[in-house]
Structure 1
Amino acid sequence: MNLHWWAFWYAMAFLTRLPTPYLKRVDDAVAARSLVFYPLIGCLLGLSLLAFTAAGFFYNPQVSLLLLAALLLSIWVAFSGALHLDGLADSADAWVGGLGNKERTLAIMKDPQSGPMGVTVVVVVLLVKFAAIYALLDKASGVNGSWNIWLLLAGFMLVPMLARGSVPGLLATTPYVRKKGLASALVAGATPLVVGITGTLLALLAGVFLQTQALFILALWLTILMMARAAMIKRLGGCTGDTLGATIEIQEALLLAAIAL
């Protein structure tokens, strides 16, 4: 099997809890190439959310949107095994407990236990996501059973793709500060070609799904990334796997809310 095949399954195994075949090849080259498939993983998450939404309304056209939103959020979290939420909690604890010190911040990130700040930030982010999912369902559901499928595609597919597709760009422009961390092998895959192709593809999809609102959402996306990168550089001098996961979660919450609004 070629490198791309192993890289795809590596990305699946790393970013999701979906069943994958046994990986006979796991090395730095496979990990680096897996970055190419990060937007595709977001697309698979989006397809799962859309399929569950369709199944829910097929089963009961009068299904409670609040209940459906809660179930969709559960699927969203379970898809990655809360991997990115763990990074968010660790980063929040470290940013507060680190007291501006790089070494202390990095040390706190390694602590598997979550403190009050980490728990609080996770709850707030999940609350924003839940409210945004409900708002999207409410806005997309029209009269006489008609649906605004483009709005659902933007919220449930484009947003996960944008969030995961940002990782190559962040790794390409931000030093990785740990000598041997979970994402250290990915850095070599963040080439200008990968970043350019990923960014172009996501911009085109945004134009298709959002049309006149695409420029605003893309500008917001880039603003979030620049602010996150600036915060990482200021505190750590670069990024870690935890801060990348935290950035994914923050992007999803804010972009979902912006599209819903």
Structure 2
Amino acid sequence: MKSALFGLLLALQFLTRIPIPIACPWTPETRRWAVRCYPLVGLLIGSVLALLAFVMHNVPTPITALAVLSVWVTLSGGLHLDGVMDIADALGSNQPLARRWEILKDPQIGSFGMLALVFLLAWKGVLLWALLAYNAPWWWLVVIPALGRWAGVALLVLTSCAQQKGLAWSWQQSLGTLDVVLALVPMALITLLVPSLALMGLATAVFVGLSRWFMLRLFNGINGDMVGATIEGGEFWLLILVWSWWQFATVSPLGI
């Protein structure tokens, strides 16, 4: 039980800017529990976003959407956006594999990275605006950050690291397929209340499979940046799907 609690605190320290003034032990057991708690942290973030959207429901929708997006980025400290920018710079360079890895490690952000950041945030903001304008139920805003973080867990556990060093490789040494399954438990419990959430889980699994293929093909493995980019990409993917289902489905498969 103590390891599980420390794991939750580690996940909060690693994934958010919420101040946790506790020194948590860095052991294989606490790392396993931290990864299992990633979706729980996502549910916490999503709950804050949904509460903010509810409080601001009488505010003009564009302002509410921008406020929600701002808090979304602030809570995570923009941690995962850095991975998106690094990958965009590496791929935009159109260089051989070795050079792409050098660009990934470069702390400087190039033009492709800045463009990726601007367009990602713009699209997320517009999709939030659209969904809020359609008065979509609040639960989608709660679960998207959770499923996005589960996508990062799945990629980390199921895809080999390109190099036997770095934070991602260090985490991998403690993890197995069981951790991916256990990380889904909170979402499975919510599915009992919202059965259509299973469709979003399936869509997330498809996104993980595509991301895994993409990273192996272009980089021969993953690193921490790619895990973070998968979290951001998973959230974006789910926003698009929820908007599509809400906008175009005659009978919504989500029941919304």
TM-score (norm. length: structure 2): 0.87
Residue equivalent to 2:125: 130
- The amino acid that maps onto 2:87 is S
RMSD over aligned Cα, in angstroms? 2.1
Offset at residue 25 of structure 1 (A): 2.2
1:111 aligns with 2:106: yes
Hey, what does 1:226 align to over in structure 2? 209
Query: Shift in Å at residue 7 of structure 1?
Result: 1.4
Which structure 2 residues correspond to residues 1-261 of structure 1 after superposition, within 5 A? 2-57=2-57, 61=58, 63-97=59-93, 99=95, 101-140=96-135, 151-154=137-140, 156-199=141-184, 201-202=186-187, 205=190, 208-209=193-194, 211=196, 214-215=198-199, 217-261=200-244
More helix by share: 1
| Number of residues of Structure 1 aligned to a counterpart in Structure 2 | 244
Q: CA contact under 8 A between 2:84 and 2:228: conserved in structure 1? A: yes
- The alpha-carbon deviation at position 190 of structure 1 amounts to 3.1
- Structure 2, unmatched stretches of 5+, are 245-256
From the superposition, tell whether residues 67 and 77 of structure 1 become closer, same or farther in structure 2 (CA, over 3 Å). Answer: same
Per-residue displacement from partner, 1:101-145 (whole Å, max 9, x unpaired)? 3322221111111111111111111111101111111112xxxxx
Q: 1:8 to 1:96 in 2, by over 3 A?
A: same
Decide whether the 8 Å contact of 1:9 with 1:23 is kept in 2.
no
Report the CA distance shift for 1:200/1:33 in structure 2 as closer, same or farther (over 3 A).
Answer: closer
- Contact persistence 1:6–1:30 (CA under 8 A): yes
2:221 aligned counterpart, secondary structure: coil
Give the distance between the partners of 1:118 and 1:182, measured in 2 at CA.
Answer: 22
**Paired residue secondary structure (1:183):** helix
What is the alpha-carbon distance in structure 1 between the residues aligned to residue 193 and residue 4 of structure 2? 28
The one-letter code sitting in structure 2 at the alignment partner of 1:111 is: D
Contact 1:96 1:117 in 2 (8 A): yes
Aligned-pair distance for 1:214? 4.4
Contact conserved, 2:152 with 2:228, CA < 8 A, in 1?
Answer: no
